[in-house]
């Protein structure tokens, strides 16, 4: 079968999550036909898997303007812009109605297994850019198909590829064998079966971001409940505790995000969780009673735990893009022009410079990684970032470079100055302020592996950013 002329083809959007559906809305707004391919059974499949978690962005920040324009004729009205949706709310009240409006432009149960140039593998130069893209799909029933596209927008996210517990980026020894007691998601403690799994148990939480904060807060709430007596969290940190460990707190311009860190701090301060610092997991061993023992690269062996929650971030699945010529940063696996803006080793004060199609482009013209996937392994992605990305990309595909380059989004600051301190040694200094006025926070030890309670410690002040 010969591919049709490129101009007659749709733009294939991979993923029917928030960024993917918004991309479809913006393409329609530009007069371009989209085709959204979703591997799951419904729109927002990944979002539905954390339906119990409340967003730290309000409804006013998680509805895309072009999507709202499509929804308006149906009688849809946005929920109170000042309220905070859960993942389930977001999927049911916004993503699914948007997918319904898009109709047969959204295909579910369609997993993309490969993307290339028609008749050209990664090596071939000749006439490459004149060829349409070819997209291979595996359908839920096992049928395979190939489609052609004028451009490809990969908004598939990173949800299906969580990072492992190992401090070297690899699974810890024994991690796979202990899979029956390990989860890589924030547990839904409202689910009776899940709640029973953690109630009265000792749970290790590995990670230092918003998801880890959420898990610690949930476990602390369980410990304070009638059916949760004896519940204990063990917070595993690869670095030390500093003034920025718990996020920006009241200095965060997204108050609910700042509150997550404060809730995690309260869990430690109130004795519902012990903090173990400077611990890089090397192995997970099974004790004689079936519980798990975490072993550090420095030889430390922690007291046994009943469950382990690994929340060390996510990474992009690039396997189905291997025949394309992508320009990715060697550390973050994000587009090379975007990487310096989001690098957590250097990133200062939580702000991200406005960016659009130029920062998201690749040597393979017509391919864009957007949404969470555009950040590679970097954390703290916001929905509004994705919406601005796809607006710019859709305009660029339409040839309206003036609109594509007019990127004016300003993201809220986290209130945290300096880099994320990704160098793992507990006594290592964090990255320089990069424009922040406060001195680098000093690390303090809140707990030791076998301690019954975290030792009392005084935090160094987090400081503030210039002009904030």
CA separation for the pair 331, 98 (Å, rounded) = 35
Q: Does the pLDDT value for residue 453 go beyond 60?
A: no
pLDDT score, position 246: 59
Residue among 40, 41, 23, 42 nearest 32 (CA)? 23
Structure-block tokens of residue 132: 């349409």
Residues 6+ apart with CB under 8 A from 123: none
CA separation for the pair 449, 230 (Å, rounded) = 18
| Least confident stretch, 291-295, 349-353, 359-363 | 349-353
pLDDT score, position 178: 97
Q: What is the pLDDT of residues 235-267, one digit of tens each?
A: 999 887 655 555 555 555 556 666 777 888 889
Helix-helix angle 383-397:18-29, to 10 degrees: 30
Q: Is 405 helix (H, G, I), strand (E, B) or coil?
A: helix
CA separation for the pair 151, 12 (Å, rounded) = 6
Report in angstroms the alpha-carbon separations of 162 from 34, 93, 165, 409.
29, 27, 10, 28
- CB-facing half-sphere around the CA of 427: CA atoms within 13 A: 0
C-beta of residue 201 within 8 angstroms of C-beta of residue 194: no
C-beta of residue 220 within 8 angstroms of C-beta of residue 270: yes
pLDDT score, position 103: 98
pLDDT score, position 241: 67
Report in angstroms the alpha-carbon separations of 428 from 281, 299, 364, 406.
18, 19, 39, 40
Mean pLDDT (whole number) for 273-281 = 94
CA separation for the pair 266, 416 (Å, rounded) = 18
Q: What is the pLDDT of residues 310-358, one digit of tens each?
A: 999 999 999 999 999 999 999 999 999 999 988 887 754 456 777 999 9
CA separation for the pair 354, 151 (Å, rounded) = 23
Report in angstroms the alpha-carbon separations of 119 from 112, 125, 197, 377.
18, 11, 52, 32
pTM (predicted TM-score): 0.84
Q: What is the pLDDT of residues 152-206, one digit of tens each?
A: 999 999 999 999 999 999 999 999 999 999 999 999 999 999 999 999 999 999 9
Q: Does the pLDDT value for residue 414 go beyond 60?
A: no
Q: In what helix (H) or strand (E) does residue 203 lie, and over which residues does it extend?
A: strand 202-206
CA separation for the pair 84, 465 (Å, rounded) = 27
Report in angstroms the alpha-carbon separations of 211 from 2, 227, 344, 361, 380.
47, 24, 16, 30, 10
Instruction: Give the gyration radius of the chain's Cα atoms.
Output: 23
Q: Does the pLDDT value for residue 432 go beyond 80?
A: no
Q: What is the pLDDT of residues 80-113, one digit of tens each?
A: 999 999 999 999 999 999 999 999 999 999 999 9
Mean pLDDT (the chain) is 85
> Phi and psi for 145 in degrees, rounded to 5?
-150, 155
What burial letters (b/e) apply to 149-183, b meaning 16+ CB within 10 Å?
A: bbbbbbbbbbbebbbbbbbeeebbebbeebeebbb
């Amino acid at each position: 079968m010969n591919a049709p002329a490129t101009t007659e083809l749709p733009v294939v959007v991979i993923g029917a999550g928030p960024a993917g559906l918004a991309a479809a809305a913006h393409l329609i707004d530009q007069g371009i036909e989209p085709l959204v391919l979703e591997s799951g059974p419904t729109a927002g499949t990944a979002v539905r898997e954390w339906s119990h978690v409340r967003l730290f962005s309000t409804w006013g920040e998680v509805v895309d303007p072009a999507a709202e324009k499509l929804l308006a004729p149906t009688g849809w009205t946005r929920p109170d812009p000042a309220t905070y949706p859960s993942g389930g709310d977001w999927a049911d009240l916004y993503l699914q109605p948007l997918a319904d409006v898009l109709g047969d432009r959204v295909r579910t149960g369609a997993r993309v297994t490969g993307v290339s140039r028609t008749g050209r593998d990664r090596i071939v130069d000749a006439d490459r850019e004149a060829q349409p893209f070819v997209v291979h799909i595996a359908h839920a029933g096992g049928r395979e198909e190939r489609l052609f596209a004028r451009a490809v927008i990969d908004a598939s996210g990173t949800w299906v590829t969580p990072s492992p517990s190992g401090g070297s980026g690899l699974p810890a020894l024994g991690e796979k064998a202990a899979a029956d007691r390990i989860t890589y998601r924030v547990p839904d403690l409202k689910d009776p079966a899940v709640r029973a799994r953690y109630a009265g148990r000792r749970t290790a939480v590995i990670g230092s971001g918003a998801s880890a904060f959420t898990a610690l807060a949930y476990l602390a709430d369980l410990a304070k409940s009638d059916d949760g007596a004896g519940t204990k969290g063990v917070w595993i940190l690869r670095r030390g505790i500093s003034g920025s460990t718990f996020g920006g707190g009241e200095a965060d311009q997204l108050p609910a995000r700042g509150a997550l860190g404060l809730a995690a701090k309260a869990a430690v301060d109130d004795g519902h969780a012990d903090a173990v610092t400077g611990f890089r997991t090397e192995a997970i061993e099974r004790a004689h009673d079936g519980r798990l023992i975490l072993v550090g690269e420095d030889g430390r062996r922690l007291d046994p735990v009943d469950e382990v929650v690994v929340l060390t971030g996510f990474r992009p699945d690039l396997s189905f893009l291997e025949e394309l010529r992508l320009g990715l940063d060697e550390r973050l696996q994000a587009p090379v022009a975007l990487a310096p803006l989001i690098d957590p080793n250097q990133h200062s004060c939580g702000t991200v410079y406005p960016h659009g199609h130029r920062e998201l482009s690749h040597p393979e013209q017509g391919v864009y990684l957007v949404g969470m996937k555009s950040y590679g392994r970097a954390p703290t992605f916001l929905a509004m970032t994705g919406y601005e990305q796809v607006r710019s990309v859709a305009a660029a595909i339409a040839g309206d470079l003036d609109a594509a380059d007019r990127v004016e989004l300003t993201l809220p600051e986290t209130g945290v100055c300096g880099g994320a301190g990704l160098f793992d040694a507990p006594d290592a200094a964090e990255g320089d302020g990069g424009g922040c006025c406060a001195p680098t926070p000093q690390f303090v030890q809140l707990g030791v592996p076998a301690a019954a309670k975290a030792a009392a410690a005084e935090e160094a002040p987090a400081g503030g950013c210039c002009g904030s």
